[in-house]
Amino acid sequence: MAGPSPAPARAPSPLPPSEIPAAEPEGDLPSPDAALAEEAEIPTTPIPHRGAVADLRVGTLGCIGGFCRSGRHDVSPGVRLGGFLGGNVRGWFEAGIGGGWGTMKPNVTPGTNALVLYGLDPYVLQQALLAQAAGLLKVDLAGLAVSDARLRATQVGPTIRVHLIPRGRVQAFVGSGVGYNLLRSRYQTAAGDVRLDLHGIDVPVEANLSVYLRPHVALGVQLDYMWTWYGAAVLDHPQQRLALPVSVLQAAGQQQGVDFRGELPQMWSVGLALRGRL
């Protein structure tokens, strides 16, 4: 005889709702709506331009005027390094010390007298200077035939700038000031190296357009024009060192129908400007 059949297994009874474990959160990722709300709460503050500032400029240096033209020094642009250190008030006004140093590339025809490069006749100038300088000139100006030339220029002085945009990612300003300008010309001659230094007062005009790459760093383009009034000339010759007012050379030039001051160079520069702000 067959034995009794086994009783069917009982299905597990469901847990009451209070005992069901809560589902673990999949992560702390915020919902899209929460992310948008959080982003809306973050203020977008424009970059301020105020504070202590420092500029570094790298570009070209050139000049205009009879001094620079073909047939004279025939100047090609060279390299200029410039800088500025100062402070900005409320994003609108800026004051500090600025300046630069640069070179220009003359292309002088070998054998040309150094004074002809300034539009002057050495023979006529020799007689005029002997009279005006009371016989102090001991150099034979006719012997200044040039085989090579080099030009250097230095400027330094206080500068004031006005910003067109007081805050934001874009920066634009114009500036000016009054400073010292030294134009140094070196000539190789048969008598040795001859140097003529022209000292003057310059009134620079500058314009800058930059973009802030970071809240404290901006990069842009700057254009400078340095109008200069030359007041003194220093001739350093192997035989003699002589300092003269430019007015003496101007008067001597007028005897030849030459505006000596008008022949002297006015310089310009264009280049990249890197700006830091604290």
User: Which pLDDT tens digit goes with each residue over 54-93?
Assistant: 999 999 999 999 999 998 999 999 999 999 999 999 999 9
Residue 15, in any domain of the structure: no
Range of the domain at 194: 53-277
Residue 12, in any domain of the structure: no
Residue 57 to residues 105, 212, 255, 276, Cα–Cα distance (Å): 20, 16, 42, 12
pLDDT band at 124 (very low <50, low <70, confident <90, very high): confident
Report pLDDT digits (tens) over 152-205.
999 999 999 999 999 999 999 999 999 999 999 999 998 899 999 999 999 999
Residue 20, in any domain of the structure: no
Residue 273, in any domain of the structure: yes
**Per-residue pLDDT, 253:** 87
3-class DSSP state of 240: strand
Residue 7, in any domain of the structure: no
CA–CA separation, 51 and 167 (whole Å): 12
Residue 257, in any domain of the structure: yes
**Per-residue pLDDT, 267:** 98
CA–CA separation, 73 and 80 (whole Å): 19
If one counts the domains in the chain, the total is 1
Residue 193, in any domain of the structure: yes
3-class DSSP state of 23: coil
**Per-residue pLDDT, 248:** 86
Q: Fill in the DSSP letter of residue 48.
A: B
What CATH number corresponds to the domain at position 220?
A: 2.40.160.20
pTM value? Answer: 0.80
Residue 24, in any domain of the structure: no
